[in-house]
Amino acid sequence: MYLSKDVAHKFSKMVAAAKKDGVNHFLISSGFREFEEQKALYQDMGDDYALPPGHSEHNLGLALDVGSTETSMYHASEGEWIKENAWKHGFILRYPEDKVDVTGIEYEPWHIRYVGLPHSAIMEKKNFVLEEYLDYLKEKKEISIEVKGVKYTVSYYSFSKNLTINIPENSEYEISGNNINGVIVTVYEK
């Protein structure tokens, strides 16, 4: 299985935390998928079960399918644990049961995506899926939150040719695209 290095590290940490709670029968059934692999999957499985190449989060290296060696994720304690705790480690359950109308994808208790803190914490607090979070951020322009003693400020900028972003001098920051029309800047204290 291939994953982004950072995501693989975060996932290992999360699994170690689950083990402390007595939940330790995780398996990974899918990580990063090449376009060719996605194409074959799409052709074999059809569009109820797979997305076309370039449209699957598995083509990003940020998503993975997690299972349990005990039973199906619909019933496994691994699934229950992920639902409750993944956000603490920067992961989100990407296609929850109660958000099928928003995501357009059937409930997938196995598919998690790394978005990082504080984003996963904000989404948990507001009960947002990624689509709702991006809309909310775009509307609010700026969100502040404290997670595990670290203060974060998340800002949204619409993308323009001469975009200037000011970053506080003594802070760490991350800049990412929203893959639509803007830039998300996350600033936190060292």
User: Which residues carry out catalysis?
Assistant: 108
Q: Is position 124 an interface residue for Zn ion (rule: CB under 5 A)?
A: no
Least distance in Å: CB of 44 to Zn ion?
A: 15
Q: Which residue's CB is nearer to Zn ion, number 113 or number 119? A: 113
**Total residues contacting Zn ion (rule CB under 5 A)?**
2
Query: Taking Cα atoms as reference points, which of 22, 8, 26, 167 lies closest to residue 109?
Result: 26
Min separation Cβ 184 and Zn ion, Å: 23
CB of 161 to Zn ion, least distance (A): 36
CB-CB contact of 29 with 65 (8 Å): yes
Site mask, Zn ion, residues 99-118, x = CB under 5 A? ------------x-------
**Residue 15 CB partners (closer than 8 Å, separation 6+):** 24, 26
Contact flag: residue 37 with Zn ion (CB under 5 A): no
Q: Is 65 in the site for Zn ion (CB under 5 A)?
A: yes
d(CA 114, CA 91): 4
Candidates 35-43, 63-71, 73-81, 121-129; binding stretch for Zn ion (CB under 5 A)? 63-71
Q: What are phi and psi of 109, to 5 degrees?
A: -65, -5
Nearer to Zn ion, 86 or 137 (CB): 86
Q: Which residues of 149-182 are buried (b: 16+ CB within 10 A; e: fewer)?
A: eeebbbbbbeeeeeeeeeeeeeeeeeeeebeeeb
> Given the complex with Zn ion, which of 108 and 124 has the nearer CB atom?
108
- In the chain, the amino acid numbered 84 is E
Q: In whole angstroms, what is the distance from residue 67 CA to residue 141 CA?
A: 37
Q: Are 127 and 93 in contact (CB under 8 A)?
A: no
CB of 30 to Zn ion, least distance (A): 6
Residue in the shown chain whose Cβ atom is closest to Zn ion: 111
Residue with smaller CB distance to Zn ion, 32 or 152:
32
Write out the residues near Zn ion by the rule CB under 5 A.
Answer: 65, 111
